[in-house]
C-alpha cells in the first residue's frame, strides 16, 4: 500500500485535472442538493459536503441504461448492437458506506454463474476514491450497526482522510496505485499521520450516535414470516419507492423495450419492490397483494434473505431511506421494535 499526502486546498484541482483524461463521477452542488454527477470540463468536485442525496450505485448500475439496440428486418426485429460503453473512470468522494455497498452488490451482479457484463465492465474500469467520514455527517448514520465503520477501507481503491490541514491518501489496490501518477507530485506520508488517523477513527466511531440491533433480529425473521407485527409497519407507506431508489444496496430492476420507427432498444431501469406491479403476473395473480407483503419483503430481503445467501445484511447504514421517506418510516425503529418482540 502506498501512502501520500495531499494538501487540503489542492484536492479539488487534482480531481478536476484527472477529469481531463478520464470520466470522473463526483459530488457536485445541484440547486439544494449534493448529487453524484459526471464532472464536465472545467468543473471542480465538492470536497467538503455532508453527504450526497443519491447513492453512487447509479454509476455502475444506472437508473436507466440501454442494453442493446435492434432494427426491423423482413423477418422480425434483429439485434443491431449490444451497448457496452464502460470507460476508464474515477468515482470520487464516495463515503465508506457506499464503498461497502459495492462489495455487497458484487454478490448479485458478479455471481459465479451469471456475470452482469454491464455492471462488471464499469466496475473493473473504475477507481473508487473514498472520503472517510472523520465526522459522520448525520445523526441518522448507523454504519457501525451493519458491519461498517465511518473510516472503513472496505471496497475502496483509494481512501482520503481529512487530517485537518492535509489529506492522508492511502492507495489500497493496484488499480488505486495507478492513480498516483495522475495526481501530480505528492509527498510521501510519514508514520505520525497514521497515529493521527487512528485517533480520528476512534472519535469518528464514537460520533455515530444511532445504533440498531441489525444482526440480532434474524432468528425472529427466520420464524415469523407470519406475525401480527407485519400489520403495523406499512400503513403510512405511500409506495413511492424513494427508499429503494436512494438505497445504495437495492438492486431490483426492470427490462423493457422501446420502439421508434424501424429501430428500437431494450433498456434496463431501476424497479422497486414497493410497487404492486413488481410481482403482478399476467394472469392477474399477485403473490404480494398489499403494501404489508411488500414491506415484509423489503425487511426480509435486507435482514434475512441476503444474510442467508451472502452472509451479510443488505444495508450499509447510510440512513438515506430514513431522511428521505415522505411519511417518516424509519427502518431503525422497525429493526429495534422487532428486536424487542
Partner 1 sequence: MQNNPYVPIPVDVDKIITEVTTKDIKTFRFTFVNKEDEENFKYLPGQFGELSIFGKGESPIGIASSPTQPGYIEFTVQKAGVVTSELHSMEEGARMGIRGPLGNTWPIEYLEGKNIVIVGGGFAFTTLRSLINYMIFEENRSSFGNITVVYGAREPGLLIYKDELAAWEKRDDINMNVTVDKGDETWTGREGFVPTVCKEVAPSSENAVAVICGPPIMIRFTLPVFFELGFSKENIYTSLEMRMKCGIGKCGRCNVGNKYVCKDGPVFSLAELDTLTKEY
The binder of partner 1 chosen from 31, 32, 191, 282 (CB under 8 A): 282
Task: Please tell me whether residue 321 binds partner 1 under the rule CB under 8 A.
Answer: no
Residue 76 is a binding residue for partner 1 (CB under 8 A): yes
Q: Tell me the window of 3-11, 201-209, 280-288, 326-334 that interacts with partner 1 (CB under 8 A).
A: 280-288
φ, ψ at 165 (rounded to 5°):
-100, -20
CA–CA separation, 234 and 295 (whole Å): 6
Rounded-to-integer distance, Cα 192 and Cα 197, Å: 9
Q: Return d(Cα 180, Cα 108) in angstroms, integer.
A: 31
Among 164, 283, 311, 340, binds partner 1 (CB under 8 A): 283
Radius of gyration of the chain from Cα atoms? 22
Instruction: List the one residue from 280, 292, 312, 337 that touches partner 1 (CB under 8 A).
Output: 280
Q: How far is CA 156 from CA 69, 93, 219, 251, 337, in A?
A: 34, 11, 32, 20, 33
Of 179-187, 227-235, 274-282, 330-338, the segment contacting partner 1 by CB under 8 A is 274-282
| Interface with partner 1, residue 114, by CB under 8 A | yes
Annotate 222-241 with b (16+ C-beta within 10 A) or e (fewer): eebeeeeebeebbeebebeb
Closer CB to partner 1, 78 or 190, in the complex: 78
CB 80 within 8 A of CB 71: yes
Grid cell digits, residue 103: 462489495
Name the phi and psi angles at 168, rounded to 5: -85, 125
Does position 293 interact with partner 1 (CB under 8 A)? The reply is yes
Q: Collapsing DSSP states into helix, strand and coil, what is residue 279?
A: helix
For partner 1, the binding residue among 288, 292, 336, 339 (CB under 8 A) is: 288
Within 116-175, which residues bind partner 1 (CB under 8 A)? 116-118
Q: For residues 172-231, which are near partner 1 according to CB under 8 A?
A: 225
Q: Write down the least CB distance from residue 328 to partner 1, Å.
A: 25
- Interacting residue with partner 1 among 25, 36, 109, 167 (CB under 8 A): 109
Interface residues with partner 1 (CB under 8 A)? 67-68, 70, 73, 75-79, 82, 84, 108-109, 111, 113-118, 225, 251-257, 259, 264, 266, 271, 273, 278-283, 287-288, 293, 297, 300-301, 304-305, 308-309
Amino acid at each position: 500500500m502506498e501512502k501520500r499526502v495531499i494538501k487540503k486546498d489542492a484536492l479539488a484541482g487534482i480531481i478536476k485535472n484527472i477529469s481531463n483524461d478520464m470520466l470522473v463521477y463526483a459530488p457536485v452542488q445541484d440547486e439544494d442538493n449534493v448529487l453524484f454527477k459526471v464532472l464536465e470540463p472545467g468543473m471542480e468536485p465538492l470536497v467538503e459536503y455532508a453527504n450526497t442525496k443519491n447513492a453512487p450505485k447509479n454509476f455502475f448500475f444506472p437508473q436507466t441504461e440501454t442494453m442493446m439496440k435492434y432494427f426491423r428486418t423482413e423477418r422480425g426485429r434483429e439485434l443491431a448492437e449490444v451497448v457496452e460503453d464502460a470507460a476508464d473512470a474515477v468515482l470520487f468522494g464516495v463515503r465508506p458506506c457506499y464503498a461497502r455497498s459495492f462489495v455487497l452488490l458484487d454478490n448479485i451482479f458478479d455471481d459465479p454463474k451469471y456475470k452482469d457484463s454491464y455492471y462488471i465492465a464499469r466496475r473493473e474500469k473504475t477507481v473508487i476514491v473514498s472520503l472517510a467520514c472523520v465526522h459522520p455527517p448525520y445523526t441518522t448514520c448507523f454504519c457501525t450497526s451493519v458491519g461498517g465503520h465511518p473510516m472503513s477501507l472496505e471496497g475502496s481503491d483509494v481512501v482520503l482522510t481529512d487530517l485537518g490541514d492535509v489529506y492522508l491518501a492511502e492507495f489500497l489496490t493496484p488499480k488505486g496505485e495507478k492513480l498516483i501518477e495522475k495526481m501530480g507530485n505528492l509527498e510521501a506520508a510519514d508514520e505520525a499521520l497514521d497515529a493521527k488517523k487512528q485517533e480520528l477513527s476512534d472519535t469518528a466511531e464514537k460520533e455515530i450516535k444511532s445504533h440498531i440491533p441489525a444482526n440480532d433480529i434474524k432468528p425472529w425473521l427466520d420464524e415469523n414470516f407470519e406475525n401480527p407485527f407485519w400489520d403495523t409497519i406499512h400503513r403510512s407507506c405511500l409506495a413511492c419507492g424513494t427508499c429503494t431508489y436512494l438505497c445504495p444496496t437495492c438492486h431490483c430492476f426492470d427490462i423493457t423495450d422501446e420502439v421508434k420507427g424501424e429501430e428500437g432498444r431494450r433498456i434496463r431501469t431501476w424497479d422497486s419492490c414497493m410497487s404492486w406491479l413488481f410481482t403482478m403476473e399476467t394472469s392477474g395473480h399477485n403473490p404480494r397483494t398489499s403494501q404489508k407483503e411488500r414491506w415484509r419483503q423489503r425487511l426480509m430481503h435486507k435482514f434475512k434473505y441476503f444474510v442467508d445467501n451472502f452472509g451479510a445484511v443488505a444495508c450499509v447504514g447510510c440512513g438515506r431511506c430514513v431522511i428521505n421517506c415522505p411519511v417518516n418510516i424509519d427502518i431503525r425503529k422497525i429493526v429495534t421494535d422487532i428486536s424487542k418482540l
